[in-house]
Structure 1
């Protein structure tokens, strides 16, 4: 078997190199997720959390197409979507830890975030249903805005998704639906749970569709830019299926993949590929990001807990 470094060097998926800003944001998302896993293991985070390690490049590639008045709807694996849009690792870390300065005052936790025109939900397919409603309101009010909805391949097992696709296609709603297809839903491989393809199901509702295999943010933007512009001009929904890998486990430690499969995932990981081809730059930016996250971790962990306002107080304001 080839060594990991040799196998990585032979990969051709990363055809280009992101600029420093994009790479720093990708590394920030990665380091945030690693920090979350460490804090969970040490007992500083309660409840559950799902990391997007391996998929960090997707929201970074999409972010330049998202305007301030556009709505973004995320899911249970949504830390990267939030950080890509706002760069607010501190507020999100405080939220997940239930500390002061939290985005949602510590009430939302890891999965349920609300800020401006961004929401995330841990309920499968709820996001696309809500997004369909928001997109319909945009069209009804003749607003020149889009709704971006992030879902996973596992969401195609939910009936609500098909109702949403049907409604979006019927009314030509201004939606961009990004499917982060990592090929595995919790521990079930797609080949055991899906008959046909995502493309086939999407085209059955007469929606525009495109598939992205690249992990190069510049190449992705070149591929999808024109299609997103058409959605903005013509109000016809677009589904972008991103073929990707989930490097970490589904949640914390629940990974049933074989050692051989995990090795293949590591070989395909954009981080390992880029670090092998551009070592000095990656290490320089990574050190800065790691130091920043360490500072944020120490700052947030020593704060007092977030104070929740009860319903009666909020109702009477």
Structure 2
């Protein structure tokens, strides 16, 4: 499964080079893997012979791994290069064109500087795996992708609206910041939540929003420290973040077109600001061609 930072990198590359992004889906992906160990199945009633499948089935713990092995070996046979830093990132480079492909379980995002070669790769994959061509990528892993001549805009508006509706906060008043500067993390008077799973689920959803909403990173970093024993105080602070989202639903990331792909890094740190353990907190951002990657 590809790292989300890798997905952002591919999106930034497509925006910078003004290449079309395409989304592919593998039909019954886990059935394409071959088992490399003996596994026996309980036969149906009336059949008295042991069943030893040669290919993976849905429900087998080996299925996802063997699918990845089969897909990787196929791309390597076609001449792709596998990234050392992310095994789900593949590139194909010649003197004429450059193609990049990233796979997230059975969802594929790919872009190429040559439309003809892009069509050829799709045909090769379809012969092997019977892929479903989803066309130009507009919605990938819950991320909405909008293109223009000036660049690419990424957002998670639908995901944000789903969170607000699930919490029945449609009529809640929006706030200007995700976290109050005077929030006391050591509020020992607040009772523990009766059902901590609701807090964990909400924080998990906020964590996924960090793909396009880096303005939430600091707040979610704080909330994630209390997953084991969350209190009503922590829950209310998490709801404040949702109220902030209500007023900033359409916020996201902008990736400019026609850039030189120059790498720029910013970093900073405070001094012992954590009131729990008095450790310092470091923040950083890595940009490629003006596009925030990490």
Relative to the length of structure 1, the TM-score reads 0.23
User: By percentage of residues, which structure has more strand?
Assistant: 2
Tell which has more relative contact order, 1 or 2 (C-alpha 8 A, sep 6+): 1
Higher CA-based Rg = 2
Relative to the length of structure 2, the TM-score reads 0.24
